[in-house]
Structure formats: structure tokens, C-alpha cells
Chain A
């Protein structure tokens, strides 16, 4: 008799705690999720850039989603240099052909993959970019070659709308 009563009580305790935990989680989630990017931030998804005035060997920097994007019109030397690197020499192996579909144009996030600084143009041991914060060297394809950064600089989603206009995002 008493044993049966205890079991019933145990069930009620467990069930109440479980429902309470689910309820608490349901209340906590909105409090956490409110910190994620809001609708207005997400709405700024794409930017169109006119690149007609960029000469070979020059880089322009545009802001996309609050981050700098490098658009570089590469010289033939830079393209050759980027394409002649052996895959086994790379920290994060990626072919230049995959990073720059149109070899003349390199479009990538100008954000060091170490801790997010903006690397400097035409600097470093590999004629590409150099991050002044903690000394990461990138090559002419924006690939990490030396220093603490773990990955190559990221290639965003982009397309050529026409010969002179790039749409990022």
C-alpha cells in the first residue's frame, strides 16, 4: 500500500520537474536568441560594386555586412605566382582556380582568419597581404602562408552582373 503511494509521488515529482524544465527552456531561448542578428541586419545581404575604374595591380575595399571586402584586379605576374604554388606548400590547400574563377579578379573578405583584423595590401613575404596584428602572411591568392591564422581569407558569394559590376552576397 505505502509502496504504491511512493511510486505515484515519484512520478508526479519527475513529471513536474520535466514540465518545469521545458517551460524554463522555452522562456530562456528568446532571451538568448534576441542577441542573434536581427531582421534589419540580415536584410543588408548584398552590395553591388562598380569596378570599371580599378586598374591592374590595384585593390579597392568595400564594406559588406560591416566587413571590408577586397576586390583586387591582379596582374599577370600575380596570377602566375598564385597558380604555380604547390598544394603541399599550403597551410590550407585551395587551388587559385577555385578561389578566383575569373583569374584577373580576386574578391575576398579582407578579414584575417586569426582574430579578425584587416590585413595590409602589397605587404608580407608572399607579395599578397600582411596582417599587422599578429603577423599572418597571405599570398597573391589570399591564402595563408605563414603566421597564426588557420585558414585562407574567405571568398564570399559574388557574381559579375555585367563586365563592370560585381554583386557581393
Chain B
């Protein structure tokens, strides 16, 4: 919060603000001091807000035409595509919007990993982010079930069956989730309800995420604490608003490319076949954004342990602030971490690739190695690295390396020892 007391200029404004300080909030958001060295990797927060709003608006309009019933859902989606005015456009934006949402969230998460944005004092922001990410996966999964195609039906069957791995109560939980003895109409109607609810839960969590962000302020590429406001910061408006706006336009070009030129490239042809409980498609694959976790699930030969490994792969992120023992945030000053970071990026991409391939032979072997490395990175490499790594001295301020040309390492070291 900015320190100075905000007072609206007009009498009416003052009268209103004394009763509901919305104008104070607006003033805080526009004046919010932001590190002036934020690069384009920091624009994805704004892009994600855009994605969420796009999904909510297109989702609401689709819900005006969609019918959540096992006998009519598939047909109503085709009705949207063929009969409803601009129905094809709204549906393609919604379906590809989910992929764009995940593309942006993965960049956002990997930006945090590179610049150490999850570290003290930003752990709560990070954990809220992980909860949002989990809810996004739940919403995307249930949304994919709604068209009631073959992939919808069998994806729902496979994912809900994950719960049957739980000892003793597993089968009961699955029956409870289905509302029957297989995925059927009761499953569809409840998935529709939850798919409708979750985006609004995410919206609430986004408010908390931003609130928690505004307490310590943004991390930055140098990863040091800065004084706010100071010559190291600029006000959010107009500087960051313009930069975020430009990045959003670039993002929308990519988005529009998918919507208008290859709207089905990220989907599966099998989902244009109506759900049939008698026949499983030859090759069941989840959407691309879930593939790394799917690869982890399949790389473990035991059913229960496979499910446990897959869930752990996601939940391990929540405790990341305590697994990374290094006090230095930005990878710019961590030469070893920087290399391990890129190995992790490659590892996740490899997991994604083998997740799309059949789980046999060489693919299975690669998946097992990549799964083992994923856990090794978080459970062994990160905790040890914090103690062993020789880091590069960090500058005292954002301005210093910029104005001083090449950073004077000896000077910086002296200053660093002073602050410690």
C-alpha cells in the first residue's frame, strides 16, 4: 500500500470514498511502485487475467446453448458449431483459450522458477498460484468432458478411476463421483456444475494472489529487495500497463492464429465421435498441458504408486520455497542453478513428449528416467545446491549495474559483505 493518504479531488468523490474507499484502491493500483527492470516474462500475470476473463465470458455464452444431458450434449455442441450465430467462433475461442491459458501459466510458473519469485517473502503468493493451477487442471478436465465425445467419456473414465487406487474406500469414492456404476448422465451434469463454479473460485484466488503480491511488491530479474517507491521503481500506470498491453497484443496474435487457422490442431479427432461406453479409442491421450503428469503416472508399473507419483509431482511444487535452500533468488547470479534450471525445462518437455507416445519400449524407459530426474531435481539437487553453489555477487540496487556499466565485482562484494 502506498504510504500517503489519498484524497479524491471532487466533493462527491470524497463523500463516496469516505463510505467505500474504492477510489483509494484504484489509486493504489495505478500508483503501485513496480521495479523498473521487469522484462517481458513479467507480463504473463496480465495475460493470464485476460485468459481467465475470456474463458468466463465465452463459457457463459456457450452455457446459454449447451445442454448438459448424456443424450443431448454431443448434439448441442454440434448445434452451437453449425446453427448458433458465431457459435463456432465462441466455442473455438473457449476450447483454444484453455490451451492458451495453460501456455501462459507454464511460462508464468517457469519465470518464477528462474527468478526465484517463490522465495521468502513470497511463499503465500506461490502457494496460492499452485492452488489456482490445480483448479485450472480440474476445470480443464471437466470442461473437456462436456462435449460428450469419445475422448470426453474415456478421459473421464480414466481420470475418475485414479481414485480407485485408494485402498479400501477407493471403489466407493469412484461410485460417488460417478453417481452410478459408470460414467453416465449423473456424472455429466455434476461436471457441468463444477466446471461452471471453478472459474469463479479461481477469480477469487486471483484477487488473493494479487493482494499477497502487493504486500512485498514484485520480484524482479535481479532478484534483490528494493525500496518502494524509489528510483528503482516506476508507477504501475502508465509504464507497466503499456508494457503488459503490448505483450497481450502479441499473445493475442498467437491466440488468434490457433482460433482462425488451426482450431482443432490441439484437440483429438476422436472427440468428434459421440461417447460410446462399449468401445475405448485405440489411443487415449489427455490434452497437451497434462501430458508430463500423464507420463509420470504411466512410468510407474504399480497402480497406487503411479497415482501417488503423479500427485506428488504437482504437490511438490507447493513446498518448493522450503526445498530451495539458496538465499539468492535470481538464477542470473546462480551459475549452477541456471544449468539445472534448463535441464529441468528439457526434462518436463521430454516428459510431455513421451506422455503422448505409447507407454512401451524405449518411450517407457525415457519416461522412467525423466520421472526420476524430475524428483531428483526438487528433492536432492535444489536442497544441496543452496549450500554448495558459489554464487555471483548480487548488486545493491537495480540502478547500479545499469549506470555502472559492467558491474564492479570487487565493489559489489564489499557492499554485499556490508549488508550481511
Question: Which residues of A line the B interface, CB within 8 A?
Answer: 32, 35-38, 41, 61, 63, 65-68, 114-118, 131-135, 148-150
**B284/A148 in contact, CB under 8 A:** no
**A132/B298 in contact, CB under 8 A:** no
Q: Chain A residue with minimal CB distance to B172?
A: A36
Cα–Cα, bound, A143→B358 (Å): 23
A interface, over-half SS: loop
CB distance from A40 to the nearest CB of B (A): 10
Residues of the B chain whose Cβ atoms lie less than 8 Å from the Cβ of A131: 280
Residues of the A chain whose Cβ atoms lie less than 8 Å from the Cβ of B178: 37
**A37/B180 in contact, CB under 8 A:** yes
CB-based A-B contact count at 8 angstroms? 83
Question: Which residues of B line the A interface, CB within 8 A?
Answer: 154, 157-158, 160-162, 164, 175-184, 186, 190, 277-284, 298, 301-304, 306, 358-360
9 residue pairs bridging A and B, Cβ less than 8 Å apart: A35-B177, A35-B179, A66-B184, A66-B277, A116-B160, A117-B157, A117-B280, A132-B282, A135-B358
**A116/B277 in contact, CB under 8 A:** no
Which residue of B164, B179, B282 contacts A37 across the interface (Cβ within 8 Å)? B179
**A115/B157 in contact, CB under 8 A:** yes
CB distance from A34 to the nearest CB of B (A): 9
**B280/A132 in contact, CB under 8 A:** yes
CB distance from A127 to the nearest CB of B (A): 19
Which residue of A65, A66, A117 contacts B158 across the interface (Cβ within 8 Å)? A117
Cα–Cα, bound, A39→B91 (Å): 36
Cα–Cα, bound, A133→B358 (Å): 9
Which residue of B154, B177, B180, B181 contacts A117 across the interface (Cβ within 8 Å)? B154
**A63/B177 in contact, CB under 8 A:** no
Cα–Cα, bound, A132→B359 (Å): 10
CB distance from A26 to the nearest CB of B (A): 19
Cα–Cα, bound, A149→B154 (Å): 17
Which residue of A67, A133, A150 contacts B284 across the interface (Cβ within 8 Å)? A133
List 4 A-B pairs, minimum CB-CB distance, nearest first: A66-B182, A65-B181, A116-B161, A115-B161
**A35/B176 in contact, CB under 8 A:** yes
Cα–Cα, bound, A148→B158 (Å): 13
Which residue of B160, B179, B181, B280 contacts A67 across the interface (Cβ within 8 Å)? B181
Cα–Cα, bound, A150→B359 (Å): 17
Which residue of B157, B175, B282, B358 contacts A116 across the interface (Cβ within 8 Å)? B157
Cα–Cα, bound, A132→B303 (Å): 16
**A134/B184 in contact, CB under 8 A:** no
Known pairs A35-B186, A68-B277, A117-B158. 20 more at Cβ < 8 A?
A: A35-B176, A36-B175, A36-B179, A37-B186, A38-B179, A41-B181, A63-B277, A66-B184, A115-B161, A115-B162, A116-B164, A118-B279, A132-B281, A133-B154, A134-B298, A135-B359, A148-B302, A148-B303, A150-B302, A150-B303
Residues of the A chain whose Cβ atoms lie less than 8 Å from the Cβ of B177: 35
Residues of the B chain whose Cβ atoms lie less than 8 Å from the Cβ of A37: 175, 178-181, 186
Cα–Cα, bound, A37→B171 (Å): 13
Residues of the A chain whose Cβ atoms lie less than 8 Å from the Cβ of B303: 114, 148-150
Residues of the A chain whose Cβ atoms lie less than 8 Å from the Cβ of B158: 115-117, 133
Which residue of B161, B176, B183, B304 contacts A36 across the interface (Cβ within 8 Å)? B176
**B306/A35 in contact, CB under 8 A:** no
